[in-house]
Amino acid sequence: MSELAQRIQQVEARIKSACEACGRTPDSVELLPVSKRQSTSLIVAAAELGYRRFGENYVQEACAKAQELPNFEFVLIGPLQRNKVKPALLHFQEIMSVDRPELALRLGQLAEELDIVRKIWIQVDLWGESTKLGGCEGSDLPALIQTLSLQPRLQLEGFMAIPPPEQTEAFSEVALLREVWQNQLGRALRISMGMSDDLEEAIAAGSDQVRIGTAFFGFRTGLL
């Protein structure tokens, strides 16, 4: 068994154990491998082990990978600048880092021009981390969600969060936020939270997706 296969098996076992501990089924949690700064050959190896969707942080890097690997899906989990909206829409199937109305409006306008539909997640920041990591504060969510609701080519999937390290109670705050907005919108929303070091706590709080980089691929090579 390859080192990659061993790491994946270990992550899958952790997810299964975490789900069993809180009465959930393992298939209720999506494992999204984070492939930033990993080689395309390693991504192909992961695909041979059953994974074809990958999270990427940088638009330019991911666009190159998407062109080389057209049969795979790439998801943007890193910050998105307005001048990179078009390539992001063309090469990512989902954009998980929408955090302001003007970005949502630009995405909607360009998606209309390009005649494409994309899934959108709102990156939330409930802990004052936005200056470092981006994210929409809770008080700004109504305006952002209203803007997204007026973009027919954008489909709101839910909320993505990067809580402060070792502040595991933050996961419950995101779960509560999801519940509030599900009630207001009258439909289900997903939440994406939890990484290599804290996936168990995130799953216990109700995360539908964990984004795993190092524990899945190993340390980043910095090579494409």
Sheet holding 118-124, edge to edge: 30-33, 209-212, 190-192, 154-161, 118-124, 94-98, 73-76, 53-56
Closest CA to 194 of 77, 60, 45: 77
Which 3 state secondary structure label does DSSP give 176?
Answer: helix
The whole-angstrom separation of Cα 40 and Cα 135 is 29
Beta bridge partners of 190: 158
Q: What is the pLDDT of residue 221?
A: 61
Gap between the Cα atoms of 211 and 214, Å rounded? 10
What's the confidence (pLDDT) of residue 104?
98
Q: How far is 133 from 130, CA to CA, in rounded Å? A: 5
Contact between residue 116 and residue 153 where contact means Cβ atoms under 8 Å apart: yes
DSSP conformation letters of 185-196: HTS--EEE---T
- At 43, give phi and psi (nearest 5°): -65, -45
Q: What is the pLDDT of residue 128?
A: 84
- Mean pLDDT, 10 residues at a time, over the chain (224 residues)? 96 98 97 96 97 97 95 96 96 97 98 98 88 84 98 98 85 97 98 96 97 93 52
pLDDT (0 to 100) of residue 25: 97
Beta bridge partners of 76: 56, 95
Residue 65 · residue 35 · CB < 8 Å: yes
Instruction: Show the tokens assigned to 4.
Output: 């990659």
* CA separation, residue 77 to residues 10, 59, 121, 133, 192 (Å): 23, 10, 9, 11, 10
Tokens of 224: 């494409």
Residue 218 is inside which H or E element, if any?
none
pLDDT value at position 74? 98
Domains of the chain: 3-217 (3.20.20.10)
User: Are the C-beta atoms of 142 and 105 separated by less than 8 Å?
Assistant: no
